[in-house]
Amino acid sequence: MRPTFISQDRCQRVMRWLAASLLTFTLCGCTRHLIHHWQETSRDYTYIDFSRNPSPYKFSGQVGGEHTTYLKVLGFKGDHFTIAMQQEGDAGFTVYGEGLVTRRTAMIHDVIIEGTDALLTIEISAYSYGDYVLTISKK
């Protein structure tokens, strides 16, 4: 078997490319809250981080049938979030996770993180179909 060697010049080009990609991702990511992951199994996952951008995050979409949308928010002890939904149709949501306390009134959830850190999950679904606008605010 022949050993594979990478030239030092090529290795440096690859490292420069990785550094430039990381820098671009970091700079562009500062204005956004999230990472979005879509699966072909009718599931959408969006990961939201308020540490870089404390402004409220609005998320609109449509759910129904087998489709379910998951929003995951990273929170730390003492963080307080308000989650509100405006909807047309049968769209609804639930909030759950370890290390947090939720209080619900109509279509508004108040969430307080009591653990050291928590990944709170917001699950949006509908029995038939529904359009919605979900707003997550960090207080």
Residue 62, burial from CB neighbour count under 10 angstroms (0-12, 13-18, 19+): middle
Q: Give tens-digit pLDDT for 70-104.
A: 999 989 999 999 999 998 888 889 999 999 999 99
Q: What is the pLDDT of residue 105?
A: 86
Q: What are the structural domains of the chain?
A: 33-138 (2.60.120.380)
Contact 86, 107 (CB under 8 A): yes
Task: Identify the three-state secondary structure at position 34.
Answer: strand
